[in-house]
């Protein structure tokens, strides 16, 4: 009897493992994919936007192999240098692919409402926390909130004339709730005095550090009260483009 139950349990566990593997195989979530599928998907998505990608990958690989093979003619044995060249070529191509994937992602999402989330998702999650679209207009002018070492940063995107009043109202609310905490604003865009999407994450990380880790945790707790009473963002039908997974695509994850 015990043996039969053990067999049934083993069969059930085997079936569950098989079901999990099958679900991952058919999943559309990049986190469930094996690394080689993630890498191939990153290449395909990047190549659609970056027409120079293939040329750069070939140049990176061939250049590395040729350079180290030539070194091998003077530093024997040459075949070891050839193998080293192949390894260096693969490494160079990976670096080129990830760098171009990052730029291609910015290019793909540039100009779309809510695109700042692509850059904000690149911030170190151990030091930074962001909340996308804390408020917006029906014209899709959006304000995002970032909390980190510089304090509270409100990132605005949209038509400057409309979004100015939106940001001013949010600054006032945040200063009242998080009294004494620096609240700064950043206007994302390609105009004068604005920060482009591709440089947004770098711009934020370069801001002067004003808060310690313990203070950041306190700020987050205070802002929960503000978010709890915040009205629903008035976004019309056809929500903001889904930016989830953009950062993973850049990293090949």
pLDDT (tens digit, 9 = 90+) per residue, 59-100?
Answer: 999 998 888 888 877 777 777 888 888 999 999 999 999 888
Domain assignment present for 155: yes
The whole-number pLDDT of residue 180 equals 86
| Residue 130: φ, ψ to 5° | -125, 150
Q: Is position 247 within any domain?
A: no
Looking at the structure, tell me whether residues 68 and 129 fall in a common domain. no
Buried b (16+ CB within 10 A) or exposed e, 83-111: ebbeebbeebbeebbbebbbebbbebbee
Confirm whether 24 is domain-assigned. Answer: no
More confident residue, 2 or 86: 86
109, 128, 160 - which closes a domain: 109
Question: Stretch 117-136: mean pLDDT, rounded?
Answer: 90
Looking at residue 250, its pLDDT comes to 45
Give the residue, 240 or 210, on which the prediction is more confident: 210
Helix/strand/coil percentages in the chain, nearest 5: 60, 10, 30
How much is the pLDDT for 39?
A: 84
pLDDT score of 244: 46
**Domain extent for 60:** 33-109
Q: Which residue has the higher pLDDT, 85 or 36?
A: 85
Q: Could you give the CA distance from residue 235 to residue 221 in angstroms, rounded to a whole number?
A: 26
Asked whether 252 and 36 are in contact (CB, 8 A), the reply is: no
Q: What is the mean pLDDT of residues 94-122?
A: 86
Q: What is the pLDDT of residue 242?
A: 47
pLDDT at 7: 63
Residue 253 in domain:
no
Where residue 214 falls among pLDDT bands split at 50, 70, 90?
A: confident
> Looking at the 3D structure of the chain, how many domains does it have?
2
Is the pLDDT at 241 greater than 60, yes or no? no
Residue 46 counted as domain residue? yes
Mean pLDDT, residues 197-222: 90
- Separation between Cα atoms, residue 112 and residue 142, nearest integer Å: 11
Neighbour count for residue 79 (Cβ, 10 Å):
10
């Amino acid at each position: 009897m015990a043996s039969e139950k053990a067999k049934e349990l083993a069969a059930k566990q085997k079936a569950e493992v098989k079901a999990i593997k099958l679900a991952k195989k058919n999943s559309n979530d990049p986190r469930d994919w094996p690394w080689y599928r993630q890498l191939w998907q990153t290449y395909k998505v990047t190549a659609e936007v970056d027409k120079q990608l293939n040329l750069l990958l070939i140049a990176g690989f061939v250049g590395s192999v040729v350079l180290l093979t030539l070194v091998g003619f003077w530093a024997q044995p040459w075949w070891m240098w050839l193998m080293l060249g192949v390894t260096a070529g693969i490494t160079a191509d990976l670096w080129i692919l990830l760098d171009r994937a990052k730029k291609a992602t910015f290019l793909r999402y540039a100009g779309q409402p809510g695109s700042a989330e692509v850059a904000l998702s690149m911030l170190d999650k151990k030091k930074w926390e962001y909340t996308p679209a804390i408020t917006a207009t029906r014209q899709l002018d959006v304000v995002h909130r970032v909390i980190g070492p510089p304090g509270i940063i409100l990132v605005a995107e949209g038509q400057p004339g409309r979004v100015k009043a939106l940001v001013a109202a949010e600054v006032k609310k945040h200063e009242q709730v998080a009294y004494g905490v620096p609240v700064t604003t950043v206007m994302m865009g390609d105009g004068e005095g604005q920060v482009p999407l591709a440089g947004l994450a770098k711009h934020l990380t370069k801001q002067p550090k004003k808060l310690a880790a313990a203070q950041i945790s306190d700020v987050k707790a205070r802002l929960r009260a503000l978010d709890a009473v915040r009205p629903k963002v008035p976004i019309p039908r056809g929500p903001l483009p889904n930016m989830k997974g953009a950062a993973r695509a850049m990293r090949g994850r």
